[in-house]
Structure 1
């Protein structure tokens, strides 16, 4: 009965997306490939830790099949996604470690629906050929507005005064008001210290200036001069910022260098009675040290939208008894407009990856230095892996290196690939580059002819010699069924291609 009702509802709502389980037993729906009449399986894009795909569908429906996992942990990611998903969208509910990423068989891109990427091992992803992107431009106004809202609440104690009224406290005269509002401070002339002057930090600075703050910032990653364009004061050490600031706002990203940036030691460098606001990442603050400082009065009051452990539990943890503390549920980024904008931008980045070359077409790839370009996902036939680009690039570089045959310098290497399409592509690239011989003068042959005759059996990057820092050869082509002694039918060698040395990245 319930199943029949659900089926009827699905017929009346054709735009409703199915959970991944419902398509797991069937083929991914087919769609036309660009530039050809043949039909190929559409790439699968999965929302890993959410359910609603209504905004993503109109952007992706003509190039991909979209489904959701609604996983609360990586162990709940569906097997079909692990085996077939080319793209993944994810919020901040789950984290992907190197071990998790290795379980994905076809994944080419992960887009974090948000700006923070601390829940994805970006380096490991890049080494596995997976691009990691974020959406840094969304919600800047919302987070900046929330930051100012929290700062104003700390200075004017609006949050606590409103709670007193709600709880029935009577204010019968100025004495009661004075007692209740004890600790309210004037803004004009105070110094707001901002840690991290990115998009959000800059927006906070401009808003704070309008309220009368003197704004100082610390950001070791910015070039000189931006302080002049914004009319701010720059300091070059965190200690100097903490010492000068009446209120400190954290607006930086979280990385391996700044975990617990605010701790017992740095709190002692702050002005006594300073305010602290964090709308960036919870792990920037040692919450135990903050709780002690609030109880001691070293910090007058604090406001946190992010926490070390989320979802935040006000009845447990180090902050449960801390006074003069405002906590909100990691919602600074949210408005109806910013939420829609965020999801549209994330889906559009996935679309670029499917229809273009990764990472060249991506706007916000954060691990580009760890891998080389890949062909468009939409141009790859189903179940056929793309040609590894460094094979083609290295083969094409042979002419420039003057290598038209290995000769005595050649040697055999282990075969790392027997994919026909990959061998043919490398052979064609080498032939086009003018590499016409393999085996030197002993066994001259056309690489293109060898490929056409299916005589090429392998290519692959051998381990470089221990004596060489970069290793002279990186790609090898070898003959199947050679008609001359193996030492003569050697390899076509080109210089090692290291994507990290490529100036384009």
Structure 2
């Protein structure tokens, strides 16, 4: 029986017990913990039958050019912007992702960030830690407001956008969305108002939340101009991809008070530069920003169950294609032409 050689160049966890439990003795894993492709010998790239890549390494066109025997790349996760899908297409290599894990965790995380801000949890906790008696006061905290009746604007209505919208509606928020890639009438099945442009979402929503992939069309889709179009006093959430947002422009919008608060699970640079204006102000708990920004370390997807799903589904996708030719969740169509 042929044993497939599968390269894992940037293993987040080196044990691969879950993956081996799926693929058994059919696959030999070549496991590395690198972020630079050059740290892996060319002979390994050229000899592997497939690649399981996490999010820590960029698979550029130069790397793809070395994949002489590779039949499949599986991105262990949803976002695939760290893999040059066009270069893979030109080499006849399909690229797949794992869209069917972590949806509920990410949606829960978005609402958790929103609730943390609008219920003042960070401010209350900081006050009471500093002075349990004197800080035992409800009034005079930033952002706190009633959610019921506000408008929640979702940018993108795929799996996660839909899950977030359902949760927002459960908190009596009015939900609207924009998504030019969904067919007409999609909104009728959801029972949610659909608008045609991002500008309309920005103008009408009290809370704007991003749920789109990162690509050439969406990169830095939220910059100074877009933040200025949002309602004054609104809240901004990004649990999708860091590259969607110009964080310096967000810093300025928060600093001048046009945006009341923001929650970010993702950043353009991960880990972030501690000296960037927004991160520096947040770390120092500067008075103008205190209680108005919540950050988490690209963790919205995470739970033990979600992690297990992600790794299990990745291994299943890998084995089904290598062994039986069944391709699932392909994200670079045309690779076979």
User: TM-score band (shorter)?
Assistant: over 0.9
Q: Offset of 1:370 from its aligned partner?
A: 2.8
1:104-124 Cα shifts (integer Å, max 9, x gaps): 221111100111010001011
- Which residue is equivalent to 1:330? 298
- Which residue is equivalent to 1:245? 205
- Which residue is equivalent to 1:210? 170
- Which residue is equivalent to 2:286? none
Which residue among 101, 111, 127 is the counterpart of 1:164? Answer: 127
Q: Offset of 1:62 from its aligned partner?
A: 2.9
Q: Offset of 1:168 from its aligned partner?
A: 3.1
**SS of aligned partner of 1:208:** helix
**TM-score where L is the length of structure 2:** 0.93
Whether 1:61 and 2:29 are equivalent positions in the alignment is: no
- Which residue is equivalent to 1:177? 138
Whether 1:362 and 2:330 are equivalent positions in the alignment is: no
Q: How is 1:382-393 mapped onto 2 (pairs within 5 angstroms)?
A: none
Whether 1:281 and 2:249 are equivalent positions in the alignment is: no
Q: How is 1:374-389 mapped onto 2 (pairs within 5 angstroms)?
A: none
- Which residue is equivalent to 1:148? 111
**Is the deviation greater in 181-190 or in 269-278?**
181-190
Distance (Å, rounded) in 1 between the aligned partners of 2:30 and 2:126: 44
Distance (Å, rounded) in 1 between the aligned partners of 2:55 and 2:61: 17
Q: Offset of 1:166 from its aligned partner?
A: 2.5
Distance (Å, rounded) in 2 between the aligned partners of 1:182 and 1:300: 8
Q: How is 1:415-426 mapped onto 2 (pairs within 5 angstroms)?
A: none
Q: Is the 8 A contact 2:143 2:261 kept in 1?
A: no
**TM-score where L is the length of structure 1:** 0.63
- Which residue is equivalent to 2:147? 187
Q: Offset of 1:46 from its aligned partner?
A: 1.6
- Which residue is equivalent to 1:126? 89
Distance (Å, rounded) in 1 between the aligned partners of 2:33 and 2:135: 53
Q: How is 1:99-498 mapped onto 2 (pairs within 5 angstroms)?
A: 99-168=62-131, 170-171=133-134, 176-179=137-140, 181-313=141-273, 315-319=274-278, 320-321=280-281, 323=289, 324-357=292-325, 361-371=326-336
Distance (Å, rounded) in 2 between the aligned partners of 1:164 and 1:195: 34
Q: Is the 8 A contact 1:69 1:78 kept in 2?
A: no
Greater relative contact order: 1 or 2 (C-alpha under 8 angstroms, separation 6 or more)? Answer: 2
Q: Offset of 1:172 from its aligned partner?
A: 6.3
- How many matched pairs? 326
Q: Offset of 1:151 from its aligned partner?
A: 1.1
Gaps of 5+ in 1: 1-31, 33-39, 372-498, 500-505
